[in-house]
């Protein structure tokens, strides 16, 4: 069974750093693109960036380029999304999702990030 399991909710202060994770199982982790999707409170879905764990090819949406870093450790089938300096506007639910042959077919359960002073 394909699963993407994300790390737990985080509460941070502005200016702090953060790295959240997404562990894949039940499939060949290195053979599928993994993406990160932001959903701000009460808003829609936005692609932030994607990574191909097989060769670490990484692409970012222009809106998120320079604001976050996406990485992956294929030895432990885990993708990461990190911030070096959080802002209140980063408060959102973040999903990882697998891009399969049949579209974005599997999603993590989401990680809620709250940034507040």
Binding residues for other proteins, per CB under 8 A?
35, 44-47, 49-50, 59-62, 95, 97, 99, 102-105, 107-110
**Least Å distance between CB 112 and other proteins?**
10
Residues 57-65: contacts with CB within 8 Å, 24+ apart? 64/38
Nearer to other proteins, 3 or 17 (CB): 3
**Least Å distance between CB 49 and other proteins?**
7
Nearer to other proteins, 51 or 86 (CB): 51
For 16-108, strand residue ranges (E) read: 18-25, 33-39, 45-52, 57-60, 69-73, 78-83, 92-100, 103-107
**Least Å distance between CB 19 and other proteins?**
20
Question: Per the structure block, which two tokens stand in for 35?
Answer: 């993406």
Nearest to 94 by CA among 74, 117, 67, 75: 67
**Least Å distance between CB 85 and other proteins?**
23
Nearer to other proteins, 11 or 45 (CB): 45
Nearer to other proteins, 60 or 80 (CB): 60
Element (H, E) at 63: none
């Amino acid at each position: 069974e394909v699963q993407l399991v994300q790390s737990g909710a985080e509460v941070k202060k502005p200016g702090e750093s953060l790295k959240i994770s997404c562990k894949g199982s039940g499939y060949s982790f290195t053979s599928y693109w993994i993406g990160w999707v932001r959903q701000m409170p009460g808003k829609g879905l936005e692609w932030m960036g994607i990574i191909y764990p097989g060769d670490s090819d990484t692409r970012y949406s222009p809106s998120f380029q320079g604001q976050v870093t996406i990485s992956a450790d294929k030895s432990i089938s885990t993708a990461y999304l990190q911030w070096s300096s959080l802002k209140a506007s980063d408060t959102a639910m973040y999903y990882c999702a697998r891009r399969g042959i049949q579209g974005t077919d599997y999603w993590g359960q989401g990680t809620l990030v709250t940034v507040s002073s």
